[in-house]
Structure 1
Amino acid sequence: MIDEKRLIRECEERLLVGTNVIKMIEERPKICEWIPIAEKLPEPGEYILLSFENYTLADIGRYEKDEDDSGAFYLGDEDESCASINLFVNAWMPLPKPYRPDDSMEAEEMLTL
């Protein structure tokens, strides 16, 4: 015989945990997925890939917050905001991690690359 109430409770707990994990995964930025600025802004100071509503090419830039807690996007290390040069950011995505040789290589082998 089974303990029906216990089985139901365990199933509910597992479903709740599974649902929370799925929700957490869905909320995280995905690799190669544009994030509209209306949905989420990037962390200030991190370099990111920027998409523009009025320019066809993406570019690397960053988001910075001001003293009044408003923010702006900047290309690379430039001091002028994107908006000040008529570039309007509509989405962003994290930059991929830099290429690294296979971790199995010895340190001496890496120095000769």
Structure 2
Amino acid sequence: MLDALTIATGAAALVLAAWCGFAAYRDQPTKDWHFIGMAVVTFLALVQLVVGVVRLAQGDKPEQGTTIFVAYLIGSAACIPAAGFLSLAERTRWGSVTVAAGALVLAVLEVRLYDIWGG
């Protein structure tokens, strides 16, 4: 895996979590600019998914197993879109809380991906 991409994705997820957490603190639902932030973080997660699959196709192997690595890659790519769809269903401050929680989960998944790969 690319360490810089993992760090960038995790950091972007933490920034998104803080941003949406602040919106929830101010009693605001997710707005259009939050969805732009979610799109950026999702893009980074999708790039990481592609890089991970390419590395596996080239013959590189994660230390803790390919199956768990691929499962974490798919989960990290799906985390923010799932939270975004849930926030559309809940147009109150709890939608912002949902996205903030999803972004925190993504940051933890990034740490775990790094660990699974052997970092």
TMscore range, shorter length? under 0.3
Question: Which of these two proteins has the greater Rg computed from alpha carbons?
Answer: 1
Structure 2 length as normaliser, TM-score? 0.23
Higher helix share: 2
Higher strand share: 1
